[in-house]
Structure 1
């Protein structure tokens, strides 16, 4: 019994120390996350205030340039001032009267008692002033008022320009608010002593709360746990002051959210310790068995029997601490390509069987001083420890790739599985175990980007360039979100012409991005990010809407039966409400369905998922033409023309570029032209840029062609509408 009591004391001491250590680790991670979120939120607020001030400054400039002719209504009708840029724009005269406003049927009011009016009246150098959230006397809504002084030509006070925004405008647009958790808080405070906007969790932003002075202690104590003056929730807060914008931001992560996993682990530790203690008192011999079982469950993947992510993280942290950043520790991150397709098509049971076979095969890869673990899903990790860990990791990765050259037997069939492998070496003493995991993950995705399209296994080492690329992609994603909000996309059109007559017989809609700083950006630079993030659905719907609107106008000017081609992303087919959007545009703009052609890539059509097939069939049933785009790239096979439910084919420019010099390409293109005609499919040859290509194509009679030889992409106004090209 004495031995059992001693063991119990030791167990509880270890549990308490472990709990204390995990609490500190959890808190340190939350402090770092709060600081990162605060920096990102500060950048968001700086950009948001700058955008609002741009509207204020523009209205101020236009009014002061010609007060007698300035007309807010005209700019509103032209779309230069809209609900996307401001809730309301108002011009206040020198005596407080409302001279002009974008709110229709506004009653006459006097605003000479408003603080922003008084400040600009008294101080010619006040610059941009952000008011306390108030209920607008004109808009009748709770608003933030971004204001600047209006001057007469002699510099005397002429009034105030006011751009009113919803207070939630500051907080609801923050792209990373999901990281706040259910009770996390972000707030914007004015240097004038006002709470401008505050958001908690998924609730919409609100200006309601105490004055900004109530948050003054947040500025004095950085990264501490404080009680929020609004809801008294204890949060780990970070404060950032933006001197140029005269505001401050506060980010608070709820202790309840932050320590949820810790509390669960704490309860589990106490439960384990209690059970063990009870069992020790009953039978000391049974304690060891129970501990081993519980540890196995907590640290082992139930499907493969490999160490799980939890055990891997602990082991990685210990080895990094013991070895140091000496280049003797490397992580190999392995991901199966196209596992989801196998899992979805053959069922989860088959997917589980495959994962167990993959684990067994990885265990056969030769190498010493290594740890194999399953991260979850179809991802595995191998930790390698060696004097030259980089070279050893490369050898292990190459051996892994060779191992996967053997097929896997699943349900009586053979499947060849490709892998993408990322390698990260521990060389920076500032890195944590999570940093090393992130680096290996980035390297894996780089390998996947290179190998998966070619259906080959690839291995890639982490370099800082990959982190910079990930950062740029995150920035580009945020820019795309702003571009959608600010309507920075526009559509150009490249004509499709008849080879016989040279007349335009249709157009293809091509999206462009007019970046406010970088100018016009072509699709190849932003569509991959848009597709990966899902924003392509919104962009695609805009292109469809704009193209149909323009096409309707052309129908009234040009009697020719022109066709309109619009590109559709695989993401739109799989996740967007494409069918509804197409039917609505056809109805709204009175377009005959067979005049609209949706260009879909072969990869998207070959996705045999039920939802994609159903939507393609619904579109064809509605009379819309489905065209196989970029034929000749990727999985292209002539047999697909017999199997796929399509109405036409567009030849990829790579085929056209090689004719007539490349005899193989010329023969293939000639066969394809004949086959499409036999099958009754429409055909467009794109990428026609040279005179000799045109001469060679003329032997096939009247073809529909597209390329720079005839037209580059043009604005709608420059198309040869109503006349022969």
Structure 2
């Protein structure tokens, strides 16, 4: 695209940005953003659900360990109580009669058995083992044992539970439940020892199944000893860790800990004995306790992950699709708002810009339009072809963009119509200056196909001066002003500009009303025909009739063709009106042929618009066939001024008519620019001399000379000649000198209705 066009486009973009003319479009960024927000909500919900179920699972596990811990604490209380009962009983019996007390006797009687204790021992005040239930035991001294020393030094210590030790008598790891033996005077008499298997404290618990796989039971004394431990079905070594290893689990109520021995995470509950200086820990493996929860958690994560993948994939697809749609929409919007040929804004974009500009700022006396129309574009386009016409329009666009500069912009609103938008202070003056600059610029010819062509332009200027006006009002005003400029420049064949004034709007409304009246006249068949005879000046016989249209207006009465035909030609209504005239004239002429044997002919006026834009050939062919009229008896009259427009096309249409058998007459001959040349260049059968020449004879010598030349030329070319406007006897007598010519005028007969037309001789 040309650099100037691009600059003009950039100026338009800048202008639009200043006006904020476009509302922000919804971006495709919202799709991924919304997707990520949805994924975030999904994961927040999933994590919240996982956390809630995790808390529920841990609370359930904590409740389970609490129940197990309470039950296990009761079990330990009972176990220790049973051992203490045995210790108390032996202590009582021994102190009652040390000399007669024999453990063997009690063992034989079944009062002391392995079900009661692993071993029962009586230790003397010097630490020597006095009696034991272990057979064949060797003499042993235990004066260095902690329990012996504790009882010896502390008379009131009560039940003492030792740490697991390797028994010197039983040679087994045991827990020793001991009490002090006293002499009758209260002095130290030794120690009674009931030894138990440390594992019995845990394996004897009847609710081990509640722990599940990986569960843990721990018994520890208040003096810091680990008495027994069962974890994952395995007992701890008697020389295992001290109770201090479980210090952080003291007072635990269903909390999670990692076991210091096997490093297994467990949910642990702590309980202290209500009777003895021991405490218990019950732990359930987190793996077991939370297996259901973790399975659900993994399922939630899997589902959330799958949904995330699906959402991301869908977002990617939608984003890609929307990106393509947005790009396509942008391309479509560009196509909808831009003229494809010149790259300029089109009518739609222009009206949108003006609507937003006017609706937002009401720029009174600060906004103006220049409506530019190319006067002679159609001729060049038809003569040189549409490709050359397109090239010309592109050159025109570049030239207008250069004149407009960066502060204004140009739009193409029609085939050869352009609009320039001007804004700022003193906009009326600026708009007129720009109009003059455009006219000056177009004085420079355009180079096309090696030739130079000067384009004439008509420019309408309209300034926004009333808040009630819309963008369409402003465009309409500029359009009306342009047509006024076109009328001013038509006669001089020059470029003109015209500034809108209210009277143009009145004139425009009048034209609209006239168009409506013509439309109604066609629909209501308000047109009718009168006929005027065409007479042979030699014989006075009627040779033919000319059909003359009249309009029976419901309010204005009879309207003559001079008052409505030019307007009908400029608006295109002449085509349907001409078809009505042809049909009515042929129908009437057919009736005359049935009752009148004379070989009369019918003459009908035809507009150039019918030849160029209408289907005149087809309409005439249908009329001739429908009414059985010999084509040679139909003459079509076309004005010379009409032939000057689209001469080449008109010549082709006339040739087709003559091939059809219809005769063609050049009407109003002598009023054009090169009258005599058309007689040889166009294929016509005759001419009709305009009444302006007839009015001057025989008194006007110039008219006489021209008249004589025309008559001589038509005779030499073998063309028929009709003289119209014959109104006086003097004119008739003077015309007789030219021999066989046809005349028409008020002297012979005024235009009359079909029923009033006289047959026979006219004069």
Contact 1:628 1:650 in 2 (8 A): yes
Q: Matches of 1:376 and 1:272 in 2, distance apart?
A: 37
**Shift of the alpha carbon at 1:723?**
4.1
**Shift of the alpha carbon at 1:640?**
1.7
Say which of 563, 573, 579 aligns to 1:525: 563
**Which residue does 1:362 correspond to in 2?**
400
1:644 aligns with 2:654: no
Say which of 521, 536, 541 aligns to 1:483: 521
Q: Matches of 1:12 and 1:561 in 2, distance apart?
A: 73
**Shift of the alpha carbon at 1:624?**
1.4
**Which residue does 1:383 correspond to in 2?**
421
C-alpha distance 569-278 of structure 1, shift in aligned 2 (>3 A):
closer
**Which residue does 2:439 correspond to in 1?**
401
Q: CA offsets per residue over residues 357-381 of structure 1, 9 Å max, x none? A: 2223334548895333322421111
**Shift of the alpha carbon at 1:706?**
2.4
Q: Matches of 1:271 and 1:534 in 2, distance apart?
A: 53
**Shift of the alpha carbon at 1:295?**
9.0
**Shift of the alpha carbon at 1:433?**
1.4
C-alpha distance 666-388 of structure 1, shift in aligned 2 (>3 A):
farther
**Which residue does 2:25 correspond to in 1?**
15
Say which of 365, 376, 390 aligns to 1:338: 376
1:467 aligns with 2:505: yes
Q: CA offsets per residue over residues 549-594 of structure 1, 9 Å max, x none? A: 3334444555544321011222333344433443444344444332
**Shift of the alpha carbon at 1:332?**
1.0
**Shift of the alpha carbon at 1:302?**
4.5
**Shift of the alpha carbon at 1:679?**
1.0
SS of alignment partner, residue 25 of structure 2 = helix
C-alpha distance 510-453 of structure 1, shift in aligned 2 (>3 A):
farther
Q: Matches of 2:376 and 2:334 in 1, distance apart?
A: 30
Contact 1:369 1:386 in 2 (8 A): no
Based on CA coordinates, which of the two structures has the bigger radius of gyration? 2
Contact 1:419 1:457 in 2 (8 A): yes
**Shift of the alpha carbon at 1:11?**
14
Q: Matches of 2:325 and 2:592 in 1, distance apart?
A: 83
1:567 aligns with 2:605: yes
Q: Matches of 2:320 and 2:697 in 1, distance apart?
A: 73
1:632 aligns with 2:642: no
**Which residue does 2:553 correspond to in 1?**
515
Contact 1:557 1:722 in 2 (8 A): no
Contact 1:488 1:514 in 2 (8 A): yes
Q: Matches of 1:634 and 1:427 in 2, distance apart?
A: 44
SS of alignment partner, residue 552 of structure 2 = strand
TM-score normalised per structure 2: 0.52
Aligned pairs for 1:46-85 within 5 A = none
Contact 1:504 1:720 in 2 (8 A): no
**Shift of the alpha carbon at 1:644?**
0.7
Q: Matches of 1:271 and 1:459 in 2, distance apart?
A: 53
Gaps of 5+ in 1: 1-9, 18-269, 280-289
Aligned pairs for 1:195-594 within 5 A = 275=323, 301-317=339-355, 319-320=357-358, 324=362, 326-365=364-403, 369-452=407-490, 455-532=493-570, 534-555=572-593, 558-594=596-632
Please say which of residues 429-438 and 519-528 is displaced more in the overlay.
519-528
Contact 1:632 1:652 in 2 (8 A): yes
**Shift of the alpha carbon at 1:597?**
0.5
Contact 2:535 2:762 in 1 (8 A): no
Q: CA offsets per residue over residues 413-459 of structure 1, 9 Å max, x none? A: 22232222212121111111121112111222333344346633332
CA root-mean-square deviation: 3.9
**Which residue does 2:757 correspond to in 1?**
719
Q: CA offsets per residue over residues 599-644 of structure 1, 9 Å max, x none? A: 1233555565887555433431232111112223455432121111
Which structure's relative contact order is higher, taking Cα pairs within 8 Å and 6+ residues apart? 2
Contact 1:331 1:393 in 2 (8 A): yes
Contact 2:541 2:761 in 1 (8 A): no
Q: Matches of 1:357 and 1:506 in 2, distance apart?
A: 53
Contact 1:558 1:723 in 2 (8 A): no
Please say which of residues 678-687 and 545-554 is displaced more in the overlay.
545-554
Q: Matches of 2:338 and 2:506 in 1, distance apart?
A: 34
Contact 2:641 2:671 in 1 (8 A): no
Q: CA offsets per residue over residues 52-84 of structure 1, 9 Å max, x none? A: xxxxxxxxxxxxxxxxxxxxxxxxxxxxxxxxx
| Deviation >6 Å, runs of 4+ | 10-13, 270-273, 276-279, 290-298
**Shift of the alpha carbon at 1:492?**
0.2
Q: Matches of 1:359 and 1:662 in 2, distance apart?
A: 53
Q: CA offsets per residue over residues 641-690 of structure 1, 9 Å max, x none? A: 11111111122334444555665544333322221111111122223345
**Shift of the alpha carbon at 1:503?**
4.2
**Shift of the alpha carbon at 1:475?**
3.3
Gaps of 5+ in 2: 1-19, 28-317
C-alpha distance 362-687 of structure 1, shift in aligned 2 (>3 A):
farther
Q: Matches of 1:701 and 1:583 in 2, distance apart?
A: 35
Contact 1:534 1:571 in 2 (8 A): yes
Please say which of residues 525-534 and 436-445 is displaced more in the overlay.
525-534
C-alpha distance 722-342 of structure 1, shift in aligned 2 (>3 A):
same
